[in-house]
């Protein structure tokens, strides 16, 4: 079958889902996957499509109280292959959806191999196609030649080789009695304002020393050899690496107290942890300079010792891995097409979503957008108050971020519901999303 109508590059979570959506819409797909030719990414271990490279969990399956559970539900309503093949591969994991990774990957591979509209070709693609409709879904570990071809098309400065990420916290879990808003030296930023852009969490000497010790002692994620060859970005050094350089290093770096008068004491604290607004609505706040490779459990335990963050809820925890992603809000249009070359769409983690489910979800909607385009139909993006719409908004720039970084789906990406009591807010978000998603589905034209 060489008369394909679309070329999907990468048979991971996103590419498999995109290919499935297209095939189900009656479109002939060529799906190129380099594994199976003797090539391997540094993290994959098999030739199977949609291989899960690390944990075997799709996280919470609770569609009433959890944003990723809601995303599962929306994907199921759209006939997701990933969600469908997860079902028979399920292993017990409480309220989470976890799978036997081999059963799961075999199921996805078989479904695509048996589909009459899909041709799976084991080949490595080294350059972005100059014509023909294409979806690029080659993931965070995109092979080097294609990564540099993408860099040329996207502008090299837009292709990030990402290393460390800092945690992001839900605003309504921060104790603002303990913290205060201020800029260093009360400086007014370029965007104007009152010089009160940052949330500052004060520490005394004992708290600081215990915190530094906690960083040094905390359990770290071990990295494979390949990660040691990926250089850190300037200014993106993991915090525990800085802490290991000396007890005062952090007090002269990201935890510097200078110019930050605590209104309770009228003096600078011994050290300060600063949080910077991460989204336009102010529901998410980023821990400035706190990129880390501490294990997730160790991060939660240690960061909750910071005054004001005792009850912090994390929208994202810090992490470190090689990650190729593009500055999607700048480069892509609302249907994930590269503005400078609209025959190319991007999908999956390449677009700056984070996680298996999110990558598959962006693959799903990229497949649907491409199918609609080929069939001459209109497909409006899902509404911003649905999980899929909120995630797509993060990727395509409907939600403004001060610094575009990969992110899991979470309620902080949804339009706010301030008039609902905090206890009932999660259910209110999901109820609103379900109604909105249902209305949108009503408008989606399914192919005959």
Q: Left if phi > 0, otherwise alpha if psi is -120 to 50, otherwise beta: which for 398?
A: alpha
Q: Which residues pair with 332 in a beta bridge?
A: 338
Total Cβ atoms within 10 A of residue 213: 13
Residue 394 C-beta: closest distance to ligand FAD, Å: 14
SS3 (DSSP) at 425: helix
Q: Which residues pair with 338 in a beta bridge?
A: 332, 341
Q: Is 155 annotated as a binding residue?
A: no
CB neighbour list of residue 267: distance below 8 Å, 6 or more residues apart: 261
Site residues for ligand FAD per CB under 6 A = 9-15, 32-35, 41, 43-44, 53-55, 124-125, 137-143, 146, 321, 348-350, 355-356, 359
Residue 124 C-beta: closest distance to ligand FAD, Å: 4
Closest to ligand FAD by CB, 128 or 306? 128
Residue 189 C-beta: closest distance to ligand FAD, Å: 33
Residue 375 C-beta: closest distance to ligand FAD, Å: 24
DSSP H or E segment with residue 90: strand 90-91
Q: Which residue is nearest to ligand FAD (CB)?
A: 12
Q: Is 367 annotated as a binding residue?
A: no
Closest to ligand FAD by CB, 63 or 143? 143
Residue 309 C-beta: closest distance to ligand FAD, Å: 24
Using CA atoms, how far apart are residues 342 and 340, in angstroms rounded to an integer?
6
Q: Is 14 annotated as a binding residue?
A: yes
Residue 105 C-beta: closest distance to ligand FAD, Å: 10
CA dist list (Å): 61 to 82, 94, 383: 14, 9, 21
Closest to ligand FAD by CB, 31 or 312? 31
Q: Is 48 annotated as a binding residue?
A: no
SS3 (DSSP) at 264: coil
Closest to ligand FAD by CB, 63 or 275? 63
Closest to ligand FAD by CB, 146 or 239? 146
Q: Is 15 annotated as a binding residue?
A: yes
∠ CA 381-384-385 to the nearest 5 degrees? 130
Residues 43, 45, 48, 50: what is their CA dihedral angle, to the nearest 10 degrees?
-30
- Helix axes of 387-396 and 67-77: crossing angle, nearest 10 degrees: 100
In 61-120, which ranges are continuous DSSP H helix? 67-77, 81-86, 101-114
Closest to ligand FAD by CB, 28 or 44? 44
- What residues form the annotated binding site for FAD? 10-15
- What residues form the annotated binding site? 10-15
């Amino acid at each position: 079958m060489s008369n394909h109508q679309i070329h999907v590059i990468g048979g991971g979570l996103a590419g498999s889902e995109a290919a499935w959506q297209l095939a189900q819409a009656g479109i002939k797909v060529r799906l190129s996957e380099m594994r199976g030719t003797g090539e391997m990414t540094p993290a994959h271990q098999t030739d199977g499509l949609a291989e899960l490279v690390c944990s075997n969990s799709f996280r919470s399956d609770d569609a009433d109280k959890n944003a990723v559970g809601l995303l599962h539900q929306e994907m199921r309503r759209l006939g997701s292959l990933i969600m469908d093949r997860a079902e028979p591969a399920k292993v017990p994991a409480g309220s989470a959806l976890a799978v036997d990774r081999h059963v799961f990957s075999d199921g996805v591979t078989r479904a695509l191999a048996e589909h009459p509209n899909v041709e799976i070709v084991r080949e490595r693609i080294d350059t972005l196609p100059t014509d023909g409709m294409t979806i690029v879904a080659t993931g965070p570990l995109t092979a080097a030649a294609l990564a540099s071809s993408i860099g040329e098309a996207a502008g090299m400065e837009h292709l990030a080789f990402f290393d460390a990420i800092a945690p992001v916290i839900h605003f309504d879990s921060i104790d603002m009695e303990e913290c205060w808003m201020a800029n260093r030296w009360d400086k007014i930023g370029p965007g104007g304002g009152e010089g009160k852009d940052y949330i500052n969490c004060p520490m005394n000497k004992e708290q600081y020393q215990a915190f530094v010790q906690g960083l040094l002692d905390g359990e770290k994620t071990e990295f494979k050899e390949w990660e040691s060859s990926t250089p850190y970005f300037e200014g993106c050094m993991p915090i525990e690496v800085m802490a290991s350089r000396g007890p005062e290093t952090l007090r002269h770096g990201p935890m510097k107290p200078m110019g930050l008068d605590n209104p309770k004491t009228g003096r600078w604290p011994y050290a300060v942890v600063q949080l910077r607004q991460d989204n336009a609505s102010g529901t998410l706040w980023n821990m400035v300079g706190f990129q880390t490779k501490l294990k997730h459990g160790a991060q939660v335990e240690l960061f909750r010792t910071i005054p004001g963050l005792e009850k912090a809820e994390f929208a994202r925890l810090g992490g470190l891995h090689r990650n190729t992603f593009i500055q999607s809000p700048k480069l892509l249009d609302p249907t994930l097409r590269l503005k400078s070359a609209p025959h190319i769409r991007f999908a999956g983690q390449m677009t700056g979503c984070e996680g298996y489910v999110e990558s598959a979800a962006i693959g799903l909607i990229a497949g649907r957008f491409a199918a609609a385009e080929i069939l001459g139909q209109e497909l409006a993006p899902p509404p911003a108050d649905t999980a899929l719409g909120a995630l797509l908004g993060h990727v395509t720039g409907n939600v403004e971020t001060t610094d575009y970084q990969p992110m899991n789906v979470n309620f902080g990406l949804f339009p706010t519901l301030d008039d609902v009591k905090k206890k009932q807010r999660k259910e209110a978000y999901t109820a609103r999303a379900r109604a909105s998603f249902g209305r949108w589905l009503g408008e989606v034209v399914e192919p005959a």
